[in-house]
Amino acid sequence: MKVQITSNVFLRDKYLLMEFCVPAGFAKPEPGQFLHVRIEDSFDPLLRRPLSIHDVAWQARSRSGQKRHILKILYEVVGKGTALLAEKRPLAQIDVLGPLGRGFDLKKINRSRCVYIVAGGMGVAPLFFLAKTIREGQKGKGPKIVVLIGGRNKDHIIREKEFKDLGCEVHVATEDGSKGVKGRVTELLKTLLPAPGAAGSPDDPQGPPVICACGPKAMLSVVAGFAQQKGLAAQVSLEEFMGCGLGACLGCVIRTVSGYRRICQDGPVFDASEVIWTE
Ligand SMILES: Cc1cc2nc3c(=O)[nH]c(=O)nc-3n(C[C@H](O)[C@H](O)[C@H](O)COP(=O)(O)OP(=O)(O)OC[C@H]3O[C@@H](n4cnc5c(N)ncnc54)[C@H](O)[C@@H]3O)c2cc1C
Ligand code: FES
């Protein structure tokens, strides 16, 4: 489906936020789902690029008062496809397939008293939409949201303010210590979990916390190990190179306890305990 870009701006360095309208028939996305984006009409780049849905304004009103749906993607320029995407100006068109994949299990999240959202680098992209959806569904109730953002240095920490504006408790870790706590975001997670019996601790009588994470596979593997050690539920959003994005080419499979699964269709969000993390 062709969509028209309404805005495509650099937030800083190599990070951009793109906004476009989708027609009324477009399925309402769930947090954790992604779009498969064809960047050019030509065959170069040949393959679509998977990009998470970062934010959604469903039934926003245009200046003329008409209802319209707005989707946002947050992306980092890493190669040819994303560099071409960064050159797109308002009114240009791109072709998007989606929303695709299986997102976060909101029912499980909403049953907990506290959700720890752990983002490594561009992992913030789908997690912002997750935090916003939890917040919007709460109506005064629902889990407390603690967000942990990790990056190599302060320039790799994005969307901190936006999470705070949602009312989330936000913590930052950088590997060089230029912002927040020095070290990895997974170390920060270990220090933030409250003492036994306290609200949001693993043995909180009103429901143990849930961890939701997105980032590099090595980081997610540490999160999964930590969750298993503490007996906590964790949902992780995985990234892999993709071909079709529709479950047909088997280009994105991972090993799980129930056999090979396709990240594009069975995921990208999986229960961390399902994934076999060793290569
Ligand atoms: C489900 C899913 C959701 C994603 N959401 C986002 C998002 O919201 N924002 C964002 O910036 N990126 C996201 N990505 C990663 C994004 O798809 C890649 O960065 C993009 O396809 C790179 O395209 P390119 O042509 O610019 O780079 P290429 O020229 O194809 O590659 C450049 C570099 O990026 C690495 N790379 C390429 N694709 C991937 C990938 N899928 N996973 C890991 N490394 C890769 C390559 O190893 C290479 O080093 C997501 C990936 C998946 C699978
Ligand atoms: S990308 Fe083709 S099966 Fe997942």
CA gap 275, 63 in Å, rounded: 47
The total number of structural domains in the chain stands at: 2
Give me the mean pLDDT over the 35-42 stretch: 90
Q: Which of 125-129, 180-184, 234-238, 242-246 has the lowest mean pLDDT?
A: 242-246
Tokens of 103: 């997102």
Residue 113 lies inside a defined structural domain of this protein: yes
Backbone angle region of 107, left / alpha / beta, with phi > 0 → left and psi within -120 to 50 → alpha: alpha
Report the Cα 42 to chain-centroid distance in Å. Answer: 29
Residue 125 lies inside a defined structural domain of this protein: yes
Q: Residues 94, 117: one domain?
A: no
Asked whether residue 63 carries a pLDDT value surpassing 70, the answer given is: no
Answer yes or no: is the C-beta of 47 below 6 A from any ligand 2 atom.
Answer: no
Q: Which ligand is nearest to the CA of 39?
A: 1
- For residue 237, which atom of ligand 1 is closest to its CA? 1
Query: What's the pLDDT score for residue 241?
Result: 86
Residue 249: DSSP 8-state: S
The dihedral sign for the CA sequence 211, 217, 222, 228 = positive
Q: Are strands 233-237 and 210-214 parallel, antiparallel or unpaired?
A: parallel
Q: Residues 228, 113: one domain?
A: yes
Q: Return the closest-CA partner of residue 122 out of 171, 184, 64, 77.
A: 77
27 alpha carbon – ligand 2 mean position (Å): 21
Asked whether residue 61 carries a pLDDT value surpassing 80, the answer given is: no
97 alpha carbon – ligand 1 mean position (Å): 16
Residues 6+ apart with CB under 8 A from 127: 117, 119, 147, 212, 214, 237
Q: Residues 149, 224: one domain?
A: yes
Q: Residues 115, 217: one domain?
A: yes
Q: Residues 143, 211: one domain?
A: yes
Mutational test site, ligand 2, from 48, 100, 252, 261, max ligand atoms within 8 Å of CB? 252
**Which residues are near ligand 1 (CB < 6 Å)?**
34, 45, 49-52, 73-76, 78-82, 122, 125, 239-242, 268
Q: Three-state SS for 10? A: strand
Q: Residues 240, 182: one domain?
A: yes
CA gap 4, 70 in Å, rounded: 10
User: What is the CATH classification number for the domain harbouring 49?
Assistant: 2.40.30.10
Answer yes or no: is the C-beta of 249 below 6 A from any ligand 2 atom.
Answer: yes
Q: Are strands 144-151 and 169-174 parallel, antiparallel or unpaired?
A: parallel
Mutational test site, ligand 1, from 43, 46, 78, max ligand atoms within 8 Å of CB? 78
Query: What's the pLDDT score for residue 46?
Result: 82
User: What is the CATH classification number for the domain harbouring 198?
Assistant: 3.40.50.80
Q: Within 10 A of 271 (CB to CB), how many other CB atoms are there?
A: 16
Q: What is the pLDDT of residues 102-153, one digit of tens each?
A: 999 999 998 888 999 999 999 999 999 999 999 987 665 778 999 999 999 9
- For residue 81, which atom of ligand 1 is closest to its CA? 25
Query: What's the pLDDT score for residue 140?
Result: 59
Query: What's the pLDDT score for residue 60?
Result: 65
Q: Which ligand is nearest to the CA of 52?
A: 1
Residue 279 lies inside a defined structural domain of this protein: no
Q: Which residue has the higher pLDDT, 71 or 67?
A: 71
Q: Residues 45, 152: one domain?
A: no
Tokens of 26: 């477009």
- With beta carbons less than 8 A apart as the criterion, state whether 15 and 106 touch: no
Q: Residues 28, 136: one domain?
A: no
Q: Return the closest-CA partner of residue 185 out of 159, 205, 210, 215.
A: 215
Structural domain of 233? 106-271
What's the pTM? Answer: 0.93
Residue 43 has φ and ψ, to the nearest 5°, of -90, 10
Query: What's the pLDDT score for residue 272?
Result: 97
Q: Which residue has the higher pLDDT, 50 or 69?
A: 50
CA gap 112, 106 in Å, rounded: 10
Burial of 257 (0-12, 13-18, 19+ CB in 10 A): exposed
* DSSP, residue by residue, 22-40: E-TTSPPP-TT-EEEEE--
Q: Residues 96, 33: one domain?
A: yes
Q: Residues 89, 114: one domain?
A: no
Residue 214 lies inside a defined structural domain of this protein: yes
Give me the mean pLDDT over the 261-275 stretch: 96
Report the Cα 109 to chain-centroid distance in Å. Answer: 15
Mutational test site, ligand 1, from 17, 96, 124, 239, max ligand atoms within 8 Å of CB? 239
Q: Residues 6, 42: one domain?
A: yes
221 alpha carbon – ligand 2 mean position (Å): 22
Q: Residues 41, 124: one domain?
A: no
